[in-house]
């Protein structure tokens, strides 16, 4: 009996279509669900073979392969990655990172430097004037703050490019046969989003169907490849 592939997926709602599809590979994979930062750590430390990792992880890997035709991306607003603040971004002096994130914290740094052209202090205290927050914890909360900056929308405003938050990455060679089966399973999950949406929890002031069908862009296409390369270059300068 061949060893199962160790796979980690992000535990957020935006990855649930992938998880739904990967059930088809239960006999071939050991699947764990993790917050993005833990998913990254597992791949870096060779605790998994494939992970849906924050793309900032790529800067910490000597060798890697993006093994899927799918990713977690957006074209413009993503509606789940924000800087929240009670004052305009131009006035903030302190900002707090999201401990569950790698890519979004790095994206915030890129935008602060290159888009807003400010340099606030990053602090860990609750008294920070602004903070990064990602994932399901943001659902329906944009109206609760005086200022809610959707980081993917701000990236698009700066670059006219989509943004890639997470990609399926391997730290070792993976057979073409398995990659084909993996992509088929992911595609199956995406095709059955309407069934999945009916099974998900609801959130006040949040349209789950629109989020999974419109805000999240799952295709790993040429535009996203260009965007990722551009982001990683900018990320090296912050």
What string of DSSP letters covers 2-32? PPPEEEEEE-SGGGHHHHHHHGGGTTTEEEE
| Three-state secondary structure call for residue 181 | helix
Contact 95, 120 (CB under 8 A): yes
**Residue 199 buriedness (CB in 10 A; 0-12 / 13-18 / 19+):** exposed
CA angle centred on 15, ends 192 and 234, rounded to 5°: 135
pLDDT exceeds 60 at position 20: yes
Asked if pLDDT for residue 60 goes beyond 60, the answer is yes
Give the model's pLDDT for residue 125: 83
**pLDDT tens per residue across span 156-165:** 999 999 999 9
Q: Per the confidence metrics, is the pTM higher than 0.85?
A: yes
Place of tokens 């890639």: 164
What average pLDDT does range 191-209 have in this prediction?
95
Across the chain, mean pLDDT equals 96
pLDDT band at 1 (very low <50, low <70, confident <90, very high): very low
Instruction: Provide, rounded to the nearest whole percent, the portion of the chain with pLDDT above 90.
Output: 96
H/E element, 234: helix 222-235
Stretch 193-209: mean pLDDT, rounded? 95
pLDDT in tens, 130-183: 999 999 999 999 999 999 999 999 999 999 999 999 999 999 999 999 999 999
Domain range annotation of the chain: 5-72+165-223, 81-159
pLDDT given at position 106: 97
Q: What is the mean pLDDT of residues 55-67?
A: 94
Both tokens of 10, joined, read 């992000």
CA distances from 98 to 12, 26, 35, 36, 112 (A): 14, 32, 11, 11, 15
Find tokens 């990320």 and name the residue: 235
CATH number, domain 81-159: 3.40.190.10
d(CA 50, CA 97): 26
Beta-ladder partners of 50: 7, 170
**27-59 residue pLDDT tens:** 999 999 999 999 999 999 999 999 999 999 999
Which CATH number fits the domain 5-72+165-223, given the four candidates 1.10.3720.10, 3.20.20.70, 3.40.640.10, 3.40.190.10? 3.40.190.10
Q: Establish whether domains 5-72+165-223 and 81-159 are of one fold.
A: yes
Q: Per-residue pLDDT averaged across 198-220, rounded?
A: 96
């Amino acid at each position: 009996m061949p060893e199962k592939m160790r796979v980690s997926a992000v535990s957020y709602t935006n990855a649930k279509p992938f998880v739904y599809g990967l059930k088809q590979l239960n006999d071939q994979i050991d699947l764990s669900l993790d917050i993005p930062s833990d998913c990254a750590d597992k791949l870096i430390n060779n605790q998994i073979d494939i992970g849906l990792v924050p793309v900032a992880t790529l800067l910490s890997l000597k060798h890697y392969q993006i093994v899927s035709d799918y990713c977690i991306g957006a074209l413009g607003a993503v509606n789940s990655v924000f800087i929240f603040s009670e004052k305009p971004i131009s006035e903030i002096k302190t900002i707090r990172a999201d401990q569950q994130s790698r890519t979004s914290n790095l994206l915030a740094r890129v935008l602060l430097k290159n888009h807003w052209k400010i340099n606030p202090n990053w602090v860990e205290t609750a008294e920070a004037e602004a903070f990064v927050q990602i994932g399901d914890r943001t659902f329906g909360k944009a109206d609760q703050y005086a200022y809610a900056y959707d980081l993917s929308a701000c990236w698009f405003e700066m670059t006219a490019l989509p943004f890639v938050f997470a990609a399926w990455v391997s730290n070792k060679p993976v057979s073409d046969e398995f990659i084909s089966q993996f992509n088929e399973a992911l595609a199956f999950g995406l095709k059955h989003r309407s069934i999945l949406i009916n099974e998900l929890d609801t959130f006040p002031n949040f349209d789950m169907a629109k989020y999974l069908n419109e805000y999240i862009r799952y295709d790993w296409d040429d535009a996203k490849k260009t965007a990722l390369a551009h982001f990683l270059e900018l990320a090296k300068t912050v």
